Amino acid sequence: MQCSFCFDRIVDMKVKPPSLANNPQTLKASLVEKEVRIALQEAQISEQGTRIIERDRTILSLTKRLHHAKMRAELLQEKLNLALAHRYAARSEKRSADQLKLFNEAEMEGAAYPVEDEESLPATVVAEHTCPKGKPGRKPLPASLPRVVIRHTLPENERLCPHDGRVMTVIGEEVSEQLDIVPATIRVLRHIRERYGCSCEGGVKSTPLPPQPIPKSMVSPGLLAHVVVSKYQDALPLYRQETILQRIGVALPRATLATWMIKAGVLIQPLINLMRDRLLAYDILQMDEATVQVLKEPGKTTQSKSYLRVQRGGPPETPIILFDYDPSRSQEVPLRLLAGFTGIFQTDGYAAYGAVARAQGLIHAGCLAHCRRKFDEAVKTQGKHQKPGLADEGLSQIQRLYRIEKTVREATPDDCLAHEQPLWKALRVWSDTYRPQVPPQTALGKALGSLHNEWEKLLVYLQDGRL
């Protein structure tokens, strides 16, 4: 079928259409030839369409593969950036300039507050935030410390008056104080128990030895307390304590020290039981776990993980902190530890804790610090030279909440709610806006997902000022 434009041109050019043959057989043959030609053209068109469809499918498949490859590359880059941050950057999530003072603290502080002589500092008690020009004042030494008087005198031949040659007399004193420390000393307590007997030979009686923490051991209560405090409070490992004792002149193998620690743990079990009773009696309890590797544990390989749980609760003025070891991470462990507890149970987003809270009818509170940590990791995955993005924005919004917490720490729950609720609403709007746009497998996607999943539990703390 010809369009009107072509027909008009044919008419204008006075071109006559081709004449048709008068023979029916010729017409039939011509029609068959045309039908064959049309069929061939349709086959060619169909084949070309199939090729186009296959090409489009190939392009689509390659595009998807390229997108997936790009996503995998971005995820691998995130993991690499996070691993580099964990390996070389500061482990603390705080971002403070004080971390730069690790190795040159003395030089930096000395340059900031140059003094030729300590005596030039005021010898009065002055709070650091009120000191002029930010310089901390020199504080007097505690009056409770024992004083050793060292009197300095001039020999008589140096006390002769330069004018008349007579010996000068004492007319006053100049007193200055230094802080001194006596290095750790060790001594031997020699117990001598007298034995008594009667001339009638009716028997012998010995003075009993006072109760000892570890019977038939050389360790005294004082030395045992010193080793315990040095290890668990001052983080001084037993092998270092062994070296320190060797410097003093006493050879105590760390195996002996370790045995004392194990026996001391048995000694304080009654105290731990009383602490647990007080922990469970209060209506707020926090719990978290950390992985530990235990060598030669029955039924487990050396590479397998075990868990140490920390529980914190009790009255705020005298908090109770207990640790509990278990090779399993199953919810049976917190169920056992929380037997008899009622109240508010604060944890991270580990699913087992949620099951425990539901099973025991506890009010389950979330932990914003754990959500914040995921945003901090998302920031670290961006690398050093990336411009601030959504992860930084999320972290900044959470930091605003922490800043308000510092200013209203002593306020009532209603005051906290009035200050913080607008920020929480803004954070929720921001999260709901960007969470659908971020791939969930990325670090930022995981951070947004964690915030979304923990949202209701995070808001529990606004119900009680103690939280």
List, for residues 135-157, the tens digit of each pLDDT value: 555 678 899 999 999 999 999 88
pLDDT over 70 at 97, yes or no? no
The 3-state DSSP class for residue 462 equals helix
Distance of alpha carbon 269 from the chain centroid: 29
Q: How crowded is residue 169: how many other Cβ atoms within 10 Å of its Cβ?
A: 6
Taking the C-alpha atoms of residue 261 and residue 269, their distance in angstroms, rounded to an integer, is 13
Q: Which domain holds residue 304?
A: 282-365
Taking the C-alpha atoms of residue 129 and residue 196, their distance in angstroms, rounded to an integer, is 67
Residues 401 and 326 reside in one and the same domain:
no
Return the half-sphere exposure (C-beta side, CA atoms, 13 A cut-off) of residue 70.
7
Q: What is the DSSP letter of 18?
A: P
pLDDT over 80 at 202, yes or no? no
Give the least confident one: 9-13, 69-73, 163-167, 205-209: 9-13
Taking the C-alpha atoms of residue 163 and residue 169, their distance in angstroms, rounded to an integer, is 14
- Threshold 0.85, pTM exceeds: no
What Rg do the C-alpha atoms of the chain give, in angstroms? 42
The pLDDT, as a whole number, for residue 411 is 67
List, for residues 30-54, the tens digit of each pLDDT value: 888 888 888 888 888 888 888 888 8
Decide: 283 and 343 in contact? Cβ < 8 Å.
yes
pLDDT over 60 at 170, yes or no? yes
Decide: 297 and 327 in contact? Cβ < 8 Å.
yes
Vertex 309 angle, CA 306 and 313, to 5° = 175
Any idea how long the chain is?
467
With bands split at pLDDT 50, 70 and 90, how would you rate the model's confidence at 28?
confident
Name every residue whose Cβ is closer than 8 Å to that of residue 21 and which is 6 or more positions away in sequence.
27, 30
The pLDDT, as a whole number, for residue 82 is 72
Angle between helices 254-267 and 269-281 (to 10 degrees): 50
Phi, psi torsion values for 393, nearest 5 degrees:
-65, -45
Taking the C-alpha atoms of residue 321 and residue 319, their distance in angstroms, rounded to an integer, is 7
Residues 372 and 410 reside in one and the same domain:
yes
Residue 431 is assigned to a structural domain of this protein: yes
* Rounded mean pLDDT, 169-192: 88
- What average pLDDT does the chain have? 82
Top-confidence range, 77-86, 199-208, 383-392: 199-208
Residues 388 and 343 reside in one and the same domain:
no
Residue 432 is assigned to a structural domain of this protein: yes
Residues 387 and 333 reside in one and the same domain:
no
More confidently predicted of 131 and 60: 60
Residue 329 is assigned to a structural domain of this protein: yes
Decide: 248 and 184 in contact? Cβ < 8 Å.
yes
Decide: 125 and 140 in contact? Cβ < 8 Å.
yes
Residue 175 is assigned to a structural domain of this protein: no
Residue 287 is assigned to a structural domain of this protein: yes
Domain count within the chain: 3
Residues 347 and 406 reside in one and the same domain:
no
CA distances from 409 to 404, 423, 439, 460 (A): 8, 16, 37, 16
The pLDDT, as a whole number, for residue 46 is 86
Q: Which two tokens stand for residue 78?
A: 């995130």
Give the least confident one: 110-124, 300-314, 437-451: 110-124
Residue 328 is assigned to a structural domain of this protein: yes
Residue 167 is assigned to a structural domain of this protein: no
Taking the C-alpha atoms of residue 309 and residue 311, their distance in angstroms, rounded to an integer, is 7
Taking the C-alpha atoms of residue 393 and residue 434, their distance in angstroms, rounded to an integer, is 11
Residue 250 is assigned to a structural domain of this protein: yes
204 pairs with which residues across the strands?
Answer: 197
Taking the C-alpha atoms of residue 346 and residue 364, their distance in angstroms, rounded to an integer, is 6
Residues 376 and 437 reside in one and the same domain:
yes
DSSP calls for 312-323: EES-TTS-EEEE
Query: What dihedral angle (degrees, nearest 10) is formed by the CA atoms of 446, 447, 450, 455?
Result: -150
pLDDT over 80 at 212, yes or no? yes
List, for residues 404-425, the tens digit of each pLDDT value: 877 776 666 667 777 788 899 9
Domain termination residue (choose one: 328, 343, 365): 365
Residues 465 and 394 reside in one and the same domain:
yes
The CATH number assigned to the domain holding 335 equals 3.30.420.10
CA distances from 289 to 83, 319, 421 (A): 22, 18, 30
Residues 254 and 340 reside in one and the same domain:
no
The pLDDT, as a whole number, for residue 362 is 95
Give the least confident one: 45-59, 216-230, 281-295, 341-355: 45-59
Q: How crowded is residue 464: how many other Cβ atoms within 10 Å of its Cβ?
A: 15
Taking the C-alpha atoms of residue 302 and residue 251, their distance in angstroms, rounded to an integer, is 31
Task: Please provide the distance, in angstroms rounded to a whole number, between the alpha carbons at the two ends of the chain.
Answer: 84
With bands split at pLDDT 50, 70 and 90, how would you rate the model's confidence at 364?
very high
The pLDDT, as a whole number, for residue 126 is 37
The pLDDT, as a whole number, for residue 18 is 54
State percent of the chain over pLDDT 70: 81
CA distances from 189 to 165, 194, 219, 223, 328 (A): 57, 16, 10, 11, 45
Give the least confident one: 17-31, 263-277, 337-351: 17-31
Domain termination residue (choose one: 335, 365, 395): 365
List, for residues 289-346, the tens digit of each pLDDT value: 999 888 888 888 878 889 999 999 999 889 999 999 998 888 899 999 999 999 999 9
